[in-house]
Amino acid sequence: MRADDLAVRSDALARLEAGVARLPDKPEETVESTLAALWHAACGAPLSAAAAAGRELPPLDAAARTRLEALLARRIAGEPLAHLTGRQRFMGLELESGGEALIPRRETEILGRAAIATLEALSAQVDTPIVIDVCTGSGNVALALAHHAPRARVWGADLSEAAVGLARRNAAALGLSGRVEFRAGDLLAPFDEEAFVGRADLVTCNPPYISTAKVGVMAPEIADHEPRLAFDGGPLGIRILNRLVQEAPRFVRPGGWLAFEVGLGQGRGVRKRVEGHGAWEDVREFPDESGEVRALAARRRATPA
């Protein structure tokens, strides 16, 4: 690296270290990976923090140096890195990211892995599994399932038209538009038709699960830049979770599965709700590295309890 670029790098790292508070739900955004992502974006080749980490930094010309300075200032002011680069990595996929939808988080990969394992177990029974992903946002879970389970046919839906547009762009960029279709609408309402009712092998969801009272004390990087619709789960944070548990049995076939993400501390209470509903059995928990339950899965009973 040229001496002048080394000096820019050293100064930028110091400024990021002093000026950016790291959020626990974005562990991949170290000072080094953040600078690398901003540097590549300034040079016209945007990458997520995960993709940029460890890559050789290209030389900066005068225009790129000016762009990097502007990006650094915006990051230090609190704009999310994924909005500045327009990129976020999720389960090995490089996705477009923006203000239309929640930025995909590492903890949602727990749901993704649980859903993929479920599809693998179903592969002996079903040639082409039907998957519905609601609250799809940028399409990250739906697209990860389609990528890692190539026999599956996946549909996604979101209440936000803007989020659906982002999800469709991601599907096109990944070459998955032929197997993944996105619709706009409220939770499972876009699938209220004969082709889906009682026929889904798997329904997945990463719902909003932050209580309304906590939204006001969230980090400004989240509350000021990401869509409230994507994280405000109502007074107790479980408004959409409750609806999902109640409404999904109409769409999941007997023996099919429902899998969804839950917030910190919600696992035990939501599990009781699922077990008490009557339509579900074999409820399974999926914890994070600290042992906190972050996803649940349940199988549709053949007959209600």
- pLDDT tens sequence across 73-108: 999 999 999 999 999 999 999 999 999 999 999 999
CATH 3.40.50.150 in the chain: give the residue spans. 108-300
165-210 pLDDT per residue, tens? 999 999 999 999 999 999 999 999 999 999 999 999 999 999 988 8
CATH number of 108-300: 3.40.50.150
109-167 pLDDT per residue, tens? 999 999 999 999 998 889 999 999 999 999 999 999 999 999 999 999 999 999 999 99
How crowded is the C-beta side of 158, counted as CA atoms within 13 Å?
Answer: 29
User: Torsion over CA of 269, 275, 279 and 283, rounded to 10 degrees?
Assistant: 100
Which position has the higher pLDDT, 222 or 161? 161
Q: Cα 98–103–107 angle (5° rounding)?
A: 165
Query: What count of other Cβ atoms lies within 10 Å of the Cβ of residue 269?
Result: 12
pLDDT at 5 over 90: no
Its sign, for the CA torsion 160, 156, 225, 209, is positive
Query: What count of other Cβ atoms lies within 10 Å of the Cβ of residue 95?
Result: 26
